[in-house]
Amino acid sequence: HAMDSKVGEVLLYYCYCEVKDPEKLCAWQKALCQHLQLTGKVRVASEGINGTVGGSKVATNLYMEVMLSQPLFKDVLCQEDFKSSTGGAHCFPDLRVGVFKEIVPMGIDPKIVSYKESGIHLSPQEFHREVEQYLSQANEGQSDTILLDCRNFYESKIGHFQGCLAPDIRKFSYFPSYVDENLELFKDKRVLMYCTGGIRCERGSAYLRSKAVCREIYQLKGGIHKYLEEFPDGFYRGKLFVFDDRYAICSNEDTISACRYCGTLWDQYKLCSSQHCRQLVLTCPSCCSKGLTACCPVCQDKELKVTSGASGQTRKEECECTWRRPRVPIEHVSQRRMDAGK
C-alpha cells in the first residue's frame, strides 16, 4: 500500500496571511493530516500557518496539492514554499495541530511587530553572492556587514554559514532581548539574516527593523533548506538541524562540532539521559559506551542518584547548562564570530 511506504518525505512550510477563523482552519488541517496519515506539528494563528509534516510520498504530494488549492492560501502559497527532505511519518512521534498567537514563537504580539515589516528577501543565488562578498571583505577586515544566524545555539553549533554571528540563545523568544542588548553591534550595518526555512527571519528581521539602527536588512528566502538545494557545497558548513526525530539532515559530509566529553569531531545529537532534562547532548559512541550520556555533570550525578534509588527532586531542565545560559548573553563580536573556514 503506497501510503505505508517507509521511504517518504518530510515537508516544511509556512504561510503568512490573514486567517479570520483559526479554530476552523485548525480543525480542517487536523482532519486533512489524519486522512493522509501524516504526523508532525502544525501551528495555526490569525497571522497564518506554519507546519512540518511527514508521510509517504503520495501523501505529502496530495497534502501540497490540497494546501495550494485551499482558497485561504491561493495567492500567497506556492510550490516553491515547500521544503522537502527524505523522511516519513516515523520522523515524528505523533500529530499535533493547534491554534496559537504566533506561528513562530517570538513572544511578541504580531500586532506590534508584523511579518509585513520584514527585510528584503534574497534568493539562494543572491544570498550566496552576498556571503561570498562578505567573506572576502571580512578577510581584509573591512566589512560593514553582519551575517546573522537567528537560530538557537544548539542549531548553529552543528552547522552554520562561515563567518556568521550566532547568538547564544536557547529559544527564539530570546531573540528580541538579544537584539535589544546588542544594538551597538548592528549600528549602521548591513545585516544578512538566515534561519532553517525562512520563517524566523520574517519576524526577526521585522523586529530588528523596528529598532531603526541597521542600514539594510536582507534575509535568505526559503532558509538554509533552499540554499542547500542549490549549493550543497556552498558557504554553509556542517549539518542542518531539524525539529523532528532525525535532529539533522546533511548536504555534505562536513562535521564541524565536537563531542562534549572527548572533543572528537561529532555532530549527532542525543537527548540527555537524565530524566526530565530536555537538553540535547553531543556525545560520541566511545564516550556513550563509558556511560557519558548526560548533558552536564549535574545531570550525570542526578541520573546516578535516580538509578541508585535516591529520591532526588527532579524538575525539567534544572542543570548546569540552564544556569550557565543566561537569558541574554552580551556579544563580544570578535570572540563570537563563528568561523568554520577551512
Alpha helices (runs of H) in the chain, residue ranges in sequence order: 22-35, 57-69, 124-139, 153-156, 175-181, 183-186, 199-210, 223-230, 285-289, 297-307, 320-324, 333-336
Cell numbers for 63, please give them.
Answer: 497534502
- In whole angstroms, what is the distance from residue 267 CA to residue 165 CA? 20
> Which residues have a catalytic role annotated?
195
Tell me the β-bridge partners of 192. 147, 218
Evaluated on CA atoms 159, 337, 201, 272, the torsion sign reads positive
Angle at 274 between CA 273 and CA 277, to 5 degrees: 105
Cα 285 to the chain's mean position, in Å? 25
Quick one: CA torsion of 116, 117, 118, 121, rounded to 10 degrees? Answer: 70
Dihedral sign computed on CA atoms, order 102, 105, 111, 115? negative
Q: Cα separation of 247 and 241, whole Å?
A: 6
